[in-house]
Amino acid sequence: LNDSTNTAWLPDLLYTERGFVSGVALVTEASGAIASLVPEPELECPVIPLPGRALLPGLVNAHSHAFQRVLRGLTEYRADATGDSFWTWRDLMYAVAARLSPDDLYAASRMAFLEMALSGITAVGEFHYLHHALDGACYEDPNQLARIVTQAANDVGLRIALLRVAYARAGFQTPPDPHQIRFLETDPDVFLERLDQLRTTLAVAGGMAWVGAAPHSVRAVPLAYLKEVFSFANEQHLPIHMHVAEQPAEIADCTTEYGRSPISLLHSEGLLSDRFTAVHLIHVNREDVRLLVDGGAAVCACPTTERNLGDGPLPAELFFREGLSVCLGSDSHIQIDLLEDARELEYLARLDTRKRVVLVPDGEVGPAALASKLFAAATANGARSIDANSGALQPGLAADFFTVDLSDPSIAGASPESLLVNIVFSLARSAIRDVVVSGRRIVTDGHHNAQEEICQAFALLQRRLWAT
Ligand SMILES: [Zn+2]
């Protein structure tokens, strides 16, 4: 404790496993790790006082497509006279994905990551499938775009798992789609070689960036290819993420091709493990969920995007009843507010069951039982899913955290006992004051150093992209 290279962050209230405590500081090391939680009278290192603030572990956004930020506000109309759906939205998304230069991608990604930082997110899992040049040719460095997105996150100050996507085909017995030429790597050996290259490059990032494997979906990756990706990822201890069961058409196609649902296919091929996260999981039944739980796998729910795309209601009640580990993602970035995703889980369950306080087992009582489950989805569960060394305020973990202003109108008047419930159900972004990653403040008093520059560059990009 007597180490002058340590720093003590002393808020009014600090979030622990036992709830909020007062008079306790979070002590961080120069290395960027949490050293200990120390009562104020015992502090022997320089103190950063945080009066009127509560301190909580940083949020983990486990599913992002940063570039899709350019679509915000531009798809809320009927593009097709016969009606709008996920598939017509996807056409618009493909059209813009086909036009972004490397510089454009950097500007769009920094914009998305800036908003994440301002909303208390300290680590992100970026599901990255934009690999090639506009004409589909491979860049001289085949990981150029992956490195640009990684750089954008690190420049903003976020920790990032670059989940490099394998994309082999348009679908089962489906002709090639020219809009997908920037995503395609049809040979699994080529994909794995590039993934491994990226893994080596990012290994020097000191825990600020690392890779994961992300076969896009059972639609886009045939089984033999899928098995090679899983086997490599398991060998290298990488997280594996995949879109699963977002649309009914995907289930129907998988059943036609393999005679099974995507989850039962993954199960029967022995691919489910605690390294695996299924993203979305909208159209599933109890049997699918049980297979995931038995295999130790997790789900990443993205309710703000799923409700925007009309994917269908997420079976949140089923997930929690069966004990599936749930983490969260802002996905298309129609909105970047992970606590909104967290509360939406419970609200979907309420609409579905016409009851209140649904996602908490019968035996668990106490005012914060539900809120702490939802908060864990936005923190520790996400960290586990993307393999980030964060998600809780514990010695040895990274010093990733944020503070909230206790006098912000959205949570004013909360007691220490009701504060977490106030935060999970009602926090506005205006309450978020400091955001710290690896012991370094990236947001101070609700402001990021590069905020004006990032917004300006993004406004220029939008003007150019959407000029008529
Ligand atoms: Zn996605």
Give tens-digit pLDDT for 178-188: 889 999 999 99
Strands (E), 150-250: 159-166, 209-215, 240-244
Q: How far is the CA of 55 from the centre of ligand 1 (A)?
A: 30
Residue 363: the pLDDT is 82
Is 358 buried (19+), middle (13-18) or exposed (0-12) by CB count in 10 A? buried
Q: In this structure, are residues 280 and 243 in contact, taking their beta carbons and an 8 Å threshold?
A: yes
- For 352-391, the DSSP string reads HHT-SS-SS-TT--STTHHHHHHHHHHTHHHHHHHT-S-S
Q: How far is the CA of 246 from the centre of ligand 1 (A)?
A: 9
Q: In this structure, are residues 229 and 275 in contact, taking their beta carbons and an 8 Å threshold?
A: no
- Is the predicted pLDDT of residue 79 greater than 80, yes or no? no
Residue 205: the pLDDT is 83
Q: How far is the CA of 9 from the centre of ligand 1 (A)?
A: 36
Q: Which residues are paired to 210 by β-bridges? A: 161
Q: Which of 116, 118, 199 is nearest to 162 (CA)?
A: 199
pLDDT band at 3 (very low <50, low <70, confident <90, very high): low
Residue 4: the pLDDT is 66
Indicate which residue of 267, 280, 283, 448 is catalytic: 280
Which pLDDT tens digit goes with each residue over 317-343? 999 999 999 999 999 999 999 999 999
241 part of the active site:
no
Residue 155: the pLDDT is 98
Q: How far is the CA of 183 from the centre of ligand 1 (A)?
A: 14
Residue 467: the pLDDT is 87
Residue position matching structure tokens 């009066």: 51
Output the pTM of the full model.
0.97
Residue 60: the pLDDT is 98
pLDDT band at 92 (very low <50, low <70, confident <90, very high): confident
- Is the predicted pLDDT of residue 84 greater than 90, yes or no? no
CB neighbourhood size of 267 (10 A): 20
Which pLDDT tens digit goes with each residue over 372-402? 999 999 999 999 999 999 999 999 999 999 9
Which pLDDT tens digit goes with each residue over 148-172? 999 999 999 999 999 999 999 999 8
**What integer is the mean pLDDT of 209-232?**
97
Q: In this structure, are residues 3 and 42 in contact, taking their beta carbons and an 8 Å threshold?
A: no
What separation, in Å, do the N-terminal and C-terminal C-alpha atoms of the chain show?
61
Q: What percent of the chain has pLDDT over 90?
A: 88
Q: How far is the CA of 88 from the centre of ligand 1 (A)?
A: 16
Q: How far is the CA of 91 from the centre of ligand 1 (A)?
A: 15
Q: How far is the CA of 154 from the centre of ligand 1 (A)?
A: 21
65 part of the active site:
no
Indicate which residue of 253, 331, 408, 434 is catalytic: 331
- Is the predicted pLDDT of residue 2 greater than 60, yes or no? no
